[in-house]
Amino acid sequence: MAEEGKGLAMVILGIVAVIAVVGLVLLFKGATGKYVMGSEYAQFNPYEVCEQRVGCPLKEVQGGIDYSYRGPLLAICDCPSGEVATPVIRPFDWREEFYPQG
């Protein structure tokens, strides 16, 4: 009688394990590996802003570093035509960026 109960318990445990594995696979099937951010803004790396978006080397970073300054954080890019001030922070909606609905 004890052997029947042990076999039945193993069958039930096996079924639960299979359901758990299938559930985990379905849960992570749509994962992108990208982080989720709870803010309305995203901050870029100042070097990337200048080199990739503007095409010039970074000279310095200005603004928004402490609470006494009210302006945005800017990357000052040193271009041949003159300095270009580019915002380092931009509006960010993670739902639209990582999970587009269209």
Could you write out the DSSP letters of every residue in 19-34? HHHHHHHHHHTT--S-
Counting residues of the chain whose pLDDT is more than 70, the rounded percentage is 74
Confidence check: pLDDT of 67 > 60: no
pTM passes above 0.85: no
Domain ranges in the chain are: 1-31, 35-102
Q: What is the pLDDT at residue 32?
A: 61
Q: What is the pLDDT at residue 69?
A: 59
By the 8 A CB rule, do 98 and 37 touch? no
